Every structure is written in C-alpha cells, then in structure tokens.
Amino acid sequence: RLLTDYQVVIMAVDHNQLAKVEACPPSMVGTTKIDEGMLASHIGLAKAMNKFDLRKVITFHSTIEKSRKFVKHHKEIAKWAGQSINNIELCTYVSGEMSAANRSKELNRLKSIKSGRGIIANARCLSEGADVPSLDAVAFIDPKKSQIDIIQAIGRAIRKSDGKRKSTIVVPIFIDKEYDSADKPSNSKFNVVWKILLALRSHDEVLADDLDKMRKDTAKNIHVSMKKATCGKVLVVTPSGDPNIGRHIEAQLLEHSTASWEFWYGLLEEYYNIKGNSLVPQEYVDRFNRRLGTWVQRQRCYKSRLSNDVIEKLKTVDFVWDAGDFRWEKKYKLGECKTDDP
C-alpha cells in the first residue's frame, strides 16, 4: 500500500468559543482585523493538534498574505482561546516568492523536528512537486477550491512513510450566531469538505460503500454517527459535543458526498421488506409525502442508462421492470388468464 490509514476531522467552532479572542485587546492580535471565520480556523486547528497529538502539520491557504498572517498570529490566538499548543518549535510559512533554497530550508526544519511540533503555512507552492517531509496532518484553512489542489494536498497527508500509522485531514468550520440547529448550515462553509470526501471516495471503495449505505439507511430512519458508519474515517467534532449541530453537519456532508439515488433505493428496500415485492404503484406516496412510485417508474424508463452496479442493486429487491407483464404472469400462474391454443 502506498497510502496510510486516514481520518478526516471536521472541527466545528461556534461564536461562544470565539468570545475570549474577540474580547482581547487589539495589541494581542496586532492591528490587522481577523474575521470570525479565520479566528475559528485558528481555534479549530489548535484543538485538533491537541486532541489528536498532531506534530507536523502543513496548512493550505488561498493567498500568500493569508498564510503569512495565519502563522504570525496563530500561537497567540490559540493561547488566548485556551488552546495553547505545547512544544511549538516551528510556526512559519513558505511561498513561491521565496527561493527554492529558502523553501527547502524551512521544510527541512519541519522534517528535523523530533519531539516538538511544527506548522508550515503555504499557498499552493507545495502542490507542485516540492520535496515535502512526512506529515501527521494537512489543514484546509482557507484554500483555493480547485479540486486538483485539494487532491494534491490530500496526497501530501496520506502518503505512506516509515513509522507512520494514520494521517489526519483537518477542516475547521465556523458556526455563526445565526445558526439554528433546525436549519441546514450554509453550503459555502462546507464546500471544501464535500470536495475532500468526493476525492477520497473516488480512491477508497470502502469509504464510498460506507457513505452510500449511510445515505440509504437514512431512508429507513436508521441514524448512526458518521464516525461509526465510516469506521472512524470521517468525524465531526462539535462545540461542547453538541449532538444537534453534529447531526445537521453530517446530514449536509452526506447529502453532498453521495448520490440521492441511494436514499430512494433505501425507500424501495424498505417497501420491499414490508410488502414482499417492488411493484410500487406509480401514484404511491409514503407518509412523508415522498413519491416513491414516480421514482420507481423513472428507473424503468431509464433502464438503458443505468449502470451495471445500479441494476445489480435493483435485482436484490426483485425489481419489476415491466409492471404489466408482471401482473399478467402472476394472474396466469393463478389460472386467471387464458391463452389461445396454437
């Protein structure tokens, strides 16, 4: 295997956790205003490094200036927020503006760390063949949303090396004051997380199957945590362990990292288990006003476009491709239909 085991850690931070930082004197964080989302990223990364004992971390940013500001304020903000990271030996950035020699020097400093911790921030310059040391984690702070950049960054984290058991992909997200646990979180906050999960599932069939099964089971009102469903590969860490926030974040992640087909297939599977067949009337609507009959008819109409995998799944519920023929054969077997003698 060329890749290590991994975990994707979504660190949710709410406005209560920002209160200490937002109330601190300007001299504590310098004269540059830092918005709530970035403060949440500082706190989320610090919490992840402490919680999962991360030693060597590279953070990804959209601009050089943002990477520079992040490492300038990180230790101070983490300490003020009660998330001091012990033994930080290195907290710096690298950029394409540096000479190759200077970039290599900073990366070698990270590589040489034995018992301490180190953070290097960058804006894309480590996605283009640079010799990066073995890492415990990568963190997506405010990265460019290019799928290629995200895939390359993930590759940095999960590359196999001697003595490395598990890699961590950290994504801090901010839950603002207006967040209502009854509402879905804003899509924009989770854009990177969705792309990470889509990238991983394209290379990890087990993760893909786990996520699809989780989506299917939601149709049957079977709810388990994403951590349990994926055997620890994807977990959401919420403020004070708030289960409501966690459930709604997971619902969003599941909706955007799996196909809706799995949900409807789950409804059909449930219908089959109750009725003993998949002959769903076209006008059938379940108690939640979900038009399963219409969906089933759509599968029949588009049979020629369905993948082999989808057709095999439908076979497990004895899917009826032609309702008219099915009913005729059933009546014939019961002796209710006559045929002309040849």
Highest mean pLDDT among 22-31, 244-253, 280-289: 280-289
Q: Distances from the Cα of 189 to the Cαs of 169, 208, 295, 310, in angstroms?
A: 16, 22, 31, 32
pLDDT at 115: 87
Whether 10 has a pLDDT exceeding 80, the answer reads yes
Mean pLDDT of the residues in the chain: 84
Tens of pLDDT, residue by residue over 117-136, are: 999 999 877 755 566 778 88
Tens of pLDDT, residue by residue over 185-204, are: 545 667 888 889 998 998 88
Of 60-64, 207-211, 310-314, 333-337, minimum mean pLDDT range: 333-337
For residues 342 and 338, give the distance between their C-alpha atoms in angstroms, rounded to a whole number.
12
Report the pLDDT averaged over residues 105-117: 91
Give the right CATH number for 5-253 from 3.40.50.1220, 3.40.50.300, 1.10.540.10, 3.90.180.10: 3.40.50.300
| Residue 81, token pair as written in the block | 């927020």
- Helix and strand tally (H, E) in the chain? 14, 7
Number of other residues whose CB lies within 10 A of the CB of residue 22: 12
pLDDT at 26: 54
Tens of pLDDT, residue by residue over 288-332, are: 899 999 999 999 999 999 999 999 999 999 999 987 767 666 665
Tens of pLDDT, residue by residue over 72-109, are: 989 888 888 888 888 899 999 998 888 889 988 999 99
pLDDT at 208: 94
**Which DSSP string do the residues of 97-159 spell out, in sequence order?**
TS-HHHHHHHHHHHHH-SSSEEEEEESSTTSSS--PPP-SEEEEEE----HHHHHHHHHHHHB
Whether 182 has a pLDDT exceeding 50, the answer reads no
Whether 24 has a pLDDT exceeding 80, the answer reads no
| Residue 318, token pair as written in the block | 């004895």
- Split at pLDDT 50, 70, 90, the class of 335 is low
Number of other residues whose CB lies within 10 A of the CB of residue 30: 12
- Split at pLDDT 50, 70, 90, the class of 265 is very high
Whether 244 has a pLDDT exceeding 90, the answer reads no
| Residue 329, token pair as written in the block | 């054969």
- Split at pLDDT 50, 70, 90, the class of 266 is very high
Domain ranges of the chain: 5-253, 260-333
- Split at pLDDT 50, 70, 90, the class of 183 is very low
- Split at pLDDT 50, 70, 90, the class of 156 is confident
Report the pLDDT averaged over residues 219-247: 88
**More confident of the two residues 147 and 99:** 99
For residues 194 and 10, the answer to whether their CB atoms sit within 8 Å is no
For residues 92 and 86, the answer to whether their CB atoms sit within 8 Å is no
> pLDDT > 70: what percent of the chain?
83
